[in-house]
Structure 1
Amino acid sequence: MAIISEDTFNDLSRYVSLRLQQGVPLVDADWNEMEDIRRFELRAFLKWFVGDGIPDGLEDSFRIIATGADNNFNISVGGGNEGLNAGRYLVDGLDVFITAGMFVSDIDTSFTNQQLHTSQPGAAQLAEILNVPVITPIPDPPENPDEIVILTVYLDVWERLVMPAEEPSLVLPSLGTESCARLRREWVIRVRPSSDVPSSGDSDYLPEHSYIALAEIRQDSTGLITPERLTDRRRLGLKVPSQLDITQLTNDAFGSSYGFNGRGQPALPISMREVINAILRGGRPAIIGPDELLAIEGPHSNPATSFDANGNQWLFWVRGVAANEIWFQRQIDGQTWLPAALLRNTNVTTGLSATGTSDGAIWIFWSDEDEAGTRADIFGQVFRNGVFGPEFTVSNSIAGQFNRSVSTQANNSNQVMVVWQNSSTSTFQSRLYNGEPAVATGVIDVSSDFAVAPALVISADNQFHIHGLDSNGLPASILRATWQADITTWNVPTPTGVSITAGPLELAAADDPFGGTWLLYTNGEVSITGSYLRPNNPPDPPLVLAETSAAPLNLTSTQDSEGNLQATFVTIVGPGLTTTLQRLRLISSI
């Protein structure tokens, strides 16, 4: 067997070429370093100047296809059977291509038909040759029917040395001697119970391997991999833009006189973002909608929405005529919505509220009656590290007491405040959680001065504020109470200056990034009205923010990472009383 000298390439040495010298022997280390320099330059360019992704025109490459099985899925090839036109994915600067011939059988391109899958004969021996683990089966599903486990399907890419002893074609038959060894780019598709690919420190992370996510599976207790439970996570449409593309973009945005100065310095005296934000701060936000957020998995009621620490939106709602199912849907990558799923069954749910914390958790609270319908309490559940934790009880009622109309917010210390209305005493009550369901204050009375459902906000100065209608009846003021953290109580509610003259009323509230508060309310008409509370100033006159197709019901609101407000509500239309979840977005900052 031929011997290969130790590698001499060092990417930090900054060598870009080898230069032959007369009278100096050419050794294998020189040749190999020259090749490593070339490969490093190409990979660095692809990694940093092109990026990961599937080329435009080969969108089916490495696409994961649900088959309804509980332990398998198909893998789309997406291209031809020759290297140049094969399906491919650019991963960490490595061009990885796929053909049907890379599987055990070219008519079965499934997960379990990979040669390295543990179910295949010889997989263990092949793994030893490749110096990698076998492909393990898809993890068993959770036993709890209420539990959802996130699985990531990912591409594992690495390179290895192939010697003539393994590949006989590397022996030159005419000379009977070995030719050069080769480097081969290998890949497999694996599945792990996580929302991301392996990273340094994980038990399944392998040095000098590159990973990229292909899909996400939301696995329930059935274990079935169906299209509704599968989300594509590939980056598609990779293409280096031409100067014509850039010119079109700049002309559309700034006009034909705009040009690049080559220095990377702003060419406009004031950025477009600053100009637009100045306009928005003038009082009226940019209003988008209302538009349809969800029409499936109805009938809908009591929607709740929030954003997690990564900017992904979560949507919860009560489904069913009997109001006995809580469903949810969430985004990944800030855009793609995962399929809707059942969170849990209840008795009769009459309110939902959700909030996200900076540690990545999502807290959901709801009001549920007992089986006899003699009382109602507030319950909660936390999504953290890819799974929903167990249900916990927030309030403890007695017979004839109904705790409803829940509202929640989190501050930047991951404290979660939850407020509800005790309908028996018409008192707002609250409880504060310090990062975990098991660490909380007792139930604290807010005030009996309020009527209608509480609207809780977290202000720019990290304070909790409750809004509610004065209990003296219409016409009435909207009152505001502030949490006093140093003495763990609420101050006496004070008028906001906003008065309501007609009902029935549904109230929502959210603070913006500039210290102001938007109060949104309905009065039985087909519209949503807003009043803006400016810091240290009288409130602005009421604005009709949007006309709706039908009277908006179950009005609630949340803020995105930029502080923009999103109001969510239900409309009921048509002879069949069809419900849809709709949203209205108030853009105060971009």
Structure 2
Amino acid sequence: MAVISPNSFDPLRRYVSVRLAQGVPLVDADWNESEDIRRFELRAFVRWFVGDGIPLGNDGFRIGGIGGAGSRVDFRIMAGGGAAPMAAGRMFVDGLEAFIVADTLFTAQPLHASQPGAAALAARWGVPAIVAIVPGTTPLSIYLDVWERLVTAAEDATLILAGLGTESCSRLRREWVVRVRTPAGGSGVPQSGDPDFRPGHSYAMLAQVTRTALQELTDQTLGEARRTGLQVSSRRDLEQLTGDVFGPGYAVDGTGTPKLAFSLRDVLNGVLRDRPSITVPVTRLTGGPFNLPTTAPAPDGTFLYWVRVAGVDRFLSRAKVLANGTVTPAEDEFQFTGVLNVTSMAIVHEDAGFRRIFYTGQAGTAKLFSRRFDPGAPPATRWGAPLEVGSPDLNIGVVAMRLSDNSTQIAWVGQNPATPATPTVFTQNFLPGAGANSLTVVGTSTDAQARVAIVPGPQILLFEQAGGTLSILSKTSAGGAWPATWTSLATMPASAVRDFAAGFIAPGRLWLAYALTAPGGGTQLIGRTSEAGLLGEARPMVSETGSPRYPNLAVDSGNASVFYQDGNAVRQVSFVTKI
């Protein structure tokens, strides 16, 4: 085999071309450096001006489920294109283009540990074999690993010139494999310093999986992580965009200096503060029913929980709400047992991965239960056994919030043994890693179907009906004591349906959302603000015909996302006061 001179290319020397000279021999190092200069500049352009991802109109390297046997440890790597070179599925990774011409299984890759000769091939190429997936409950990161290696005539016989019987130049071949990673190895793709990071390799995420016990890898549980739709925009695209936004006559001048006295964002925020914008409802989950959608903020984002109905069985399910509003594939947490149904629930994320759920259900009487999730416990017992809390009967409408000391405060409507015929609003604190304080009576109600909300203060809001009037009432604790009487915030006509939720913006500022019986039948979803006890305009949040129920608020930077149940779907609509 011919010898290749050491690589002489160094981008920091800033050489951009190799120039031939008369009477000077052309050696292999010159030729190779010239080629490396060209490749480096092309790679730098793609990396910095195009970026990682899938080109527009292509669907390369999409990860899909296989179904049936093996679906817990295998998945399909989709080509997303044709067999011709320009039609193949492709992805840019750190400026390198990888392409795939045919679907393949994860376990069918030659470097996969289950394949004969995988270990020998890995040793010959100087890379690790692909680690097999172990069924379990830990999340998985599925990513593309791209690198280049030298191929000589010893491996590829076509590099021997048939007419001369001698080898030609060697080649660099771009290889790729799809690997998986568990949290034990780190989240996302390998980074410099990680044990599985290899110099000369480039990585890009393809999919993420949040697994529950014995869960299969399906199209529903495989969360898309590719960046798609890559395209280099033309100046015409920019002119069209600026013309649509700013009108004719506006053009960029290349200085980067703002040309408007006020940014469009500041102007819009000024308008939105006086009258928030309501977004078009978006379906986030379909094919349910998904009962009692409930949001819970966590250190790593907001999670959406609901009660999944499967015949007579009820399961707690959840998904993460991503920054763009979409949700990750659903996963079951546990099956509800010991109750005929679940009538309300609230979830709080504590520190270090601990969680608490509170739910009401029929178990002889209308009871309130609590369960706590311990991330360090064995998978089968991470959710502790249900503990009965609350009052003796009539427990409905539980809500919860996390306090600054990491304790959890809940509120609900229940039965006071001293006055069993009068619905009573209770509150109770649950200490981190310990039990609960005794029940505290906040006040009474005249409505056995009243609903409450709890926000920092702490402040309790009561949504109750008396006769022909539906009222929003409030109490704020002062020094641990609750006032004797409720403060009325608003009244409205009576309604057979009365779901209620509140979200905290800042001290004295709240978002309110409630579902009422619509004048023409069905239900309507109303949103409004509360500032210093004064309620803003009551505005319908859903204009089209539907059956919105059980609204739940997630507030972020003053904007409110309302998740609600609409038939067999969970939908989202938002109040926007700031962009």
Short-chain TM bin: 0.7 to 0.9
Deviations 1:377-406 (A, max 9, x none): 22244789xx99822479653883565533
Question: For residues 118-517 of structure 1, what are the structure 2 equivalents within 5 Å?
Answer: 118-140=113-135, 142=136, 148-175=137-164, 177-194=166-183, 196-282=188-274, 284-289=275-280, 292-298=283-289, 300-306=290-296, 314-317=304-307, 319=309, 324-332=314-322, 334-346=324-336, 347=339, 348-354=341-347, 363=355, 365-369=357-361, 372-373=364-365, 375-381=367-373, 390-392=382-384, 396-397=388-389, 400=392, 404-410=396-402, 415=406, 417-421=408-412, 423-425=414-416, 426-431=424-429, 438=433, 442-443=436-437, 445-449=439-443, 451=445, 452-458=450-456, 465-468=459-462, 478-481=473-476, 489=480, 492=483, 498-500=489-491, 502-503=493-494, 505-512=498-505, 516-517=509-510
Q: 2: distance between equivalents of 1:270 and 1:383?
A: 49
Q: Is the 8 A contact 2:89 2:99 kept in 1?
A: yes
Deviations 1:135-189 (A, max 9, x none): 232222x3xxxxx543232211111222333334334455555443322111111
Question: For residues 532-551 of structure 1, what are the structure 2 equivalents within 5 Å?
Answer: 532-535=529-532, 539-546=534-541, 549=545
Compute the displacement of 1:424 (Å): 2.6
Paired position in structure 2 for 1:49: 49
Q: 2: distance between equivalents of 1:230 and 1:369?
A: 33
The answer to whether the aligner puts 1:569 opposite 2:564 as a matched pair is yes
Q: Is the 8 A contact 2:368 2:395 kept in 1?
A: yes
Q: Is the 8 A contact 2:413 2:451 kept in 1?
A: no
Q: 1: distance between equivalents of 2:405 and 2:12?
A: 43
Q: 2: distance between equivalents of 1:446 and 1:398?
A: 10
SS at match of 1:278: helix
Paired position in structure 1 for 2:421: none
Q: 2: distance between equivalents of 1:193 and 1:589?
A: 37
- Structure 1 unmatched ranges of 5 or more: 101-107, 143-147, 572-577
Q: 1:396 to 1:65 in 2, by over 3 A?
A: closer
Compute the displacement of 1:446 (Å): 5.0
Q: 2: distance between equivalents of 1:50 and 1:163?
A: 32
Q: 2: distance between equivalents of 1:233 and 1:475?
A: 46
Q: 2: distance between equivalents of 1:127 and 1:406?
A: 57
Paired position in structure 2 for 1:574: none
SS at match of 1:512: strand
Compute the displacement of 1:432 (Å): 5.4
Give the share of equivalent positions with the same residue, in percent.
34
Q: 2: distance between equivalents of 1:55 and 1:562?
A: 34
Q: Is the 8 A contact 1:308 1:314 kept in 2?
A: no
Compute the displacement of 1:239 (Å): 1.5
Paired position in structure 2 for 1:87: 89
Query: Which moved further from structure 2: 314-323 or 508-517?
Result: 314-323
Q: 1:219 to 1:169 in 2, by over 3 A?
A: same
Number of residue pairs the alignment of both structures matches? 549
Paired position in structure 1 for 2:553: 557
SS at match of 2:39: helix
Q: 1:388 to 1:567 in 2, by over 3 A?
A: farther
SS at match of 2:490: strand
Q: 1:547 to 1:115 in 2, by over 3 A?
A: closer
Q: Is the 8 A contact 1:319 1:326 kept in 2?
A: no
Paired position in structure 2 for 1:519: 512
SS at match of 1:84: helix
Q: 1: distance between equivalents of 2:257 and 2:157?
A: 58
SS at match of 1:199: coil
Amino acid corresponding to residue 251 of structure 1 in structure 2? G
Q: 2: distance between equivalents of 1:494 and 1:394?
A: 34
Compute the displacement of 1:455 (Å): 1.6
SS at match of 2:534: coil
Q: 2: distance between equivalents of 1:430 and 1:325?
A: 26
Q: 1:95 to 1:389 in 2, by over 3 A?
A: farther
**Cα RMSD for the two superposed structures:** 3.8
Q: Is the 8 A contact 2:142 2:205 kept in 1?
A: yes
Q: 2: distance between equivalents of 1:528 and 1:122?
A: 62
Compute the displacement of 1:343 (Å): 2.7
